[in-house]
Structure 1
């Protein structure tokens, strides 16, 4: 029988590249999401809190929490010998909760957009900021409950962290696959239907034509980012579920694949800010007002200092 206990990734160049990538991801992601939350919470008036803004603010919270848990999870996993640590279990739980919360909210945004465009007459009854807040709360409860269930189940079979190789425990990968592939089907359906609807819409003038083209581009970019970030990881997890590595070499290949695709999925936290927050009209309006207020305050301070120095 081949032992797989010491088959760790020890390539210094790979680890250095991973460290640089993760560090860049953390800096950009934390800055983008903190700015987004600041605009949502401090610069938007109550009447600007639409359904989209509620979803996006929850998405920013999930992305920020994931990024904060990422370095702790990486550190704790590197300390694993034979058993999980509490630090690893807690940090990975936070990481997984916020990964699948991000996926769930992105899916909810696409469903909300689909309802608004496909059923414009019923949308006033089916959509409201209050209902969006309830949906977000239910998603948080569902994702947290499923992650806790997964952790409890997997701990029974020897471990919860990614580097644990217990075969029975790996079956809990099904939680991850269901948490991605079901939203992927919903997101793809809603996005394609909305794009088809917009393409078929009669354009009355050049301005409306430009607006429709912009909307199609944004929806397509959102779907592409979602697939590019999350699909490689979940395809890898699917293969891992079917083909359980037995030798040290195959185990190393699996670890490389999981590490790379997992870090790729974390890039979604930065790209969300570009694809959702920074293209939303409410965000742009509030940001412009914030910049105007800050620049006016700066000019007043400069003017005051100039007058005092005379």
Structure 2
């Protein structure tokens, strides 16, 4: 049983906070639509050859579009408290699907890179675009199936259409934490292994050394995006589950960190340009005058993408 209850939050009821939230979500919508639209157009229309990373990134872009599609309804709900209707529940389901599909796909990309770099002989038999597509199908089914199960049990995690505090149960919080900390452990392991492997590579020339440094920075950047977007929310959920508190401060922290996690729809799109060499070549940005990458740098990029 919760130790205390929050029926009114001064922070979330203040006009300044509401205005800031509107501006923040509006910026995500304005940036996310063109960025992810460009990513999907390049991946689906401009790339000549599909790789495992491209399959994962297309699915990641689709998941981000799902979040962008429900942002207008989120903005509406901030102004007029929406009732718990089936349409609102579907919107919330799409919102949660984006969050945990993003987590799952980021980890899948890290595992794919780990296999390619640390186990190159096995990678030839394990990695293929077709198998990457099969992994994505399994992830979509698992994530959406879990959300349907929670909807049938009427134990939603909560959000812009689920303000009923009684639905916040330890079961759903524990489910959310499992869906984050287990992938986090896998991602940290793969990132450390990749960084170690890249650091041990011999530098045959200056181009190879620069390519290795860029690849290592890309690995750490992907881990940083994951932590910045998703760690604060799940730290608050962990604290809530451990203490059993249901105060206004906890709800305010959940609200803020949940919106903070929405930034992944823009940060993912920015990462696309650096994650795939072919994306850089096919993107309209490639027409800008830039120096051509050395051949040694291409080999490292192809290994990671």
Q: 1:76·1:87 contact (CA, 8 Å) conserved in 2? A: no
Once the two structures are superposed, the pairs formed by residues 24-103 of structure 1 within 5 Å of their partners are: 24-45=27-48, 48-76=49-77, 79-80=80-81, 84-103=84-103
Counterpart of 1:299? none
Q: 1:160·1:169 contact (CA, 8 Å) conserved in 2? A: no
Counterpart of 1:304? none
Instruction: Give aligned pairs, total.
Output: 285
Q: 1:56·1:277 contact (CA, 8 Å) conserved in 2? A: no
Counterpart of 1:254? 250
The verdict on how the C-alpha distance between 1:5 and 1:205 changes in structure 2, with shifts beyond 3 A counting, is same
The verdict on how the C-alpha distance between 1:289 and 1:19 changes in structure 2, with shifts beyond 3 A counting, is closer
Asked whether 1:131 is paired with 2:127, we answer: no
Q: For 1:21-50, what per-residue CA distance to the aligned partner results, in whole angstroms no more than 9, with x for missing partners?
A: 1111111111110100011111122xx111
Once the two structures are superposed, the pairs formed by residues 130-209 of structure 1 within 5 Å of their partners are: 130-155=130-155, 161-166=161-166, 169-209=169-209
Aligned-pair CA distance for 1:168? 5.9
Q: 2:110·2:191 contact (CA, 8 Å) conserved in 1? A: yes
Matches of 2:168 and 2:22 in 1, distance apart?
31
Q: For 1:140-162, what per-residue CA distance to the aligned partner results, in whole angstroms no more than 9, with x for missing partners?
A: 00110011112222349999955
Q: For 1:271-296, what per-residue CA distance to the aligned partner results, in whole angstroms no more than 9, with x for missing partners?
A: 1112234441010111159859xxxx
Q: 1:158·1:166 contact (CA, 8 Å) conserved in 2? A: no
Aligned-pair CA distance for 1:255? 2.4
The verdict on how the C-alpha distance between 1:54 and 1:195 changes in structure 2, with shifts beyond 3 A counting, is same
Structure 2 counterpart SS, 1:140: helix
Counterpart of 2:270? 274
Matches of 1:95 and 1:158 in 2, distance apart?
11
Q: For 1:162-220, what per-residue CA distance to the aligned partner results, in whole angstroms no more than 9, with x for missing partners?
A: 52211663531222111111110000100100100110111111111011000000000
TM-score (norm 1): 0.84
Matches of 2:84 and 2:285 in 1, distance apart?
49
Q: 1:177·1:234 contact (CA, 8 Å) conserved in 2? A: yes
Q: Which has the higher contact order (CA 8 A, sep 6+)?
A: 2
Aligned-pair CA distance for 1:242? 3.0
Counterpart of 2:300? none
Deviates more, 1:71-80 or 1:155-164: 155-164
Matches of 1:245 and 1:125 in 2, distance apart?
50
TM-score (norm 2): 0.85
In structure 1, list runs of 5 or more residues that go unmatched: 293-310
Q: Whose Rg is larger?
A: 1
The verdict on how the C-alpha distance between 1:152 and 1:289 changes in structure 2, with shifts beyond 3 A counting, is same
Counterpart of 1:11? 14
Q: 2:31·2:266 contact (CA, 8 Å) conserved in 1? A: yes
